[in-house]
Amino acid sequence: QVQFVHSGAEVKRPGASVKVSCKASGYTFSFHAIHWVRQAPGQRLEWLGWINGGIGDTKYAQRFQGRVTITRDTSASTAYMELSSLTYEDTAVYYCARDGGSPEYYFDYWGQGTLVTVSS
């Protein structure tokens, strides 16, 4: 079955960067894109961007352009999300989710998430 294993919780200072990983199993990694979505306390789910599992091209939400970088290692079936210049508002659970496949646009499997806490 499709599963994702996230890296562990992180605590970062304001201004720092964080890199979160998510290792996929149960399917051919290169056949699906991987998205990153975050959920801050009391806030809506928020999409950060995605990476094509095969060719590795990326798309980012405009509000995170220049601050987020999504990469992948196909040999390890792992996707990474790095967020820089952290502020307190970046405290959230960061999820990876598998793209369900076009022409529909949805996320069919999600990881359990990584809690990132920004604190001084």
Partner 1 sequence: EIVLTQSPGTLSLSPGERATLSCRASQSVSSSHLAWYQQKPGQAPRLLIFAASRRATGIPDRFSGSGSGTDFTLIISRLEPEDSAVYFCQQYDSSPPLYTFGQGTKLEIK
Helical H runs in 65-110?
Answer: none
Supply φ then ψ for residue 112, to 5 degrees.
Answer: -80, -10
CB of 107 to partner 1, least distance (A): 6
Beta bridge partners of 35: 50, 97
Contacting residues for 72 by C-beta, under 8 A, at least 6 apart: 29, 34, 51, 53, 56, 78, 79, 80
Nearer to partner 1, 14 or 66 (CB): 66
CB of 72 to partner 1, least distance (A): 18
What is d(CA 109, CA 17) in angstroms, rounded to the nearest whole number? Answer: 26
Residues lying near partner 1 in the complex (CB under 8 A): 35, 37, 44-47, 59, 61-62, 95, 97, 100, 103-113
CB of 42 to partner 1, least distance (A): 10
Nearer to partner 1, 53 or 113 (CB): 113
CB of 11 to partner 1, least distance (A): 19
Nearer to partner 1, 6 or 72 (CB): 6
